[in-house]
Amino acid sequence: MSLRLGDIAPDFQADTTQGTIRFHEWMGDGWAILFSHPKDFTPVCTTELGYMAKLSSEFEKRNCKVLGLSVDPVENHLKWKVDIEETQNYPVNYPMIGDSTLAIAKLYDMLPADEPGTSEGRTAATNHTVRTVFVVGPDKKIKLHLTYPMTTGRNFNEILRVLDSMQLTAAHKVATPVNWENGDDVIIVPAVSDAEAKEKYPNGWKTVKPYLRIVAQPGN
């Protein structure tokens, strides 16, 4: 069965560029991003992993760990890291999984279930489904799942934006509107009555429709 939002993210043990990890244990009580790329030493992936390295301190501020994955062996990752730092100007300081048996890729539906059992002989083109992002919450449940095509690099600023939204809305009874950015006004969810909203937001809010109430972001 396909993984869905709200499912428990499958646990696994894996060899990485920073040693062997057990996913749930490695996460601890924080958030995690598990993202995969088609193949080492390829152009789009090089830019992606470099940019994620650039943002890693921002994710760290949000108590969110980053974990990369491809079906290449760990030894390849370690060699490729040198190219990434050289071309993108940021060292890859998060672990990268070497999923050479495709076990984790299959566990997370990153590849069809009938894929061959090893990564031998595979190319970036035959790995086209492996450009995936999972965001997992402290409860180990999947909060976000995105899959991109081979030719399109991901927007990791968007992943950071969504993480901000999910963390904010998990802590407060609000939702974030279209194109929301951290610091913008938010929406009071319909489950909150006007009476409860008056207690939470004594400075008031803007009622566009009874179901659409705009208020300043909590904490601002």
Q: Where are the domains of the chain?
A: 13-153, 172-215
CATH says 172-215 is which class? alpha beta
Q: What are phi and psi of 81, to 5 degrees?
A: -55, -35
Annotated catalytic residue, options 32, 34, 44, 45: 45
Q: If we measure between CA atoms, which residue out of 1, 36, 37, 59 comes closest to residue 134?
A: 36
63-86: pLDDT as tens digits: 999 999 999 999 999 999 999 999
pLDDT at residue 151, rounded to an integer = 82
82-119: pLDDT as tens digits: 999 999 999 999 999 999 888 999 899 887 555 555 55
CATH number of 13-153: 3.40.30.10
Tell me if residue 64 is catalytic: no
The CA distance from 58 to 61, in Å, is 5
In our burial notation (b when 16+ CB lie closer than 10 A, e otherwise), range 111-135 reads: beeebeeebeebebebbebbbbbbb
The segments of the chain whose pLDDT lies below 50 read none
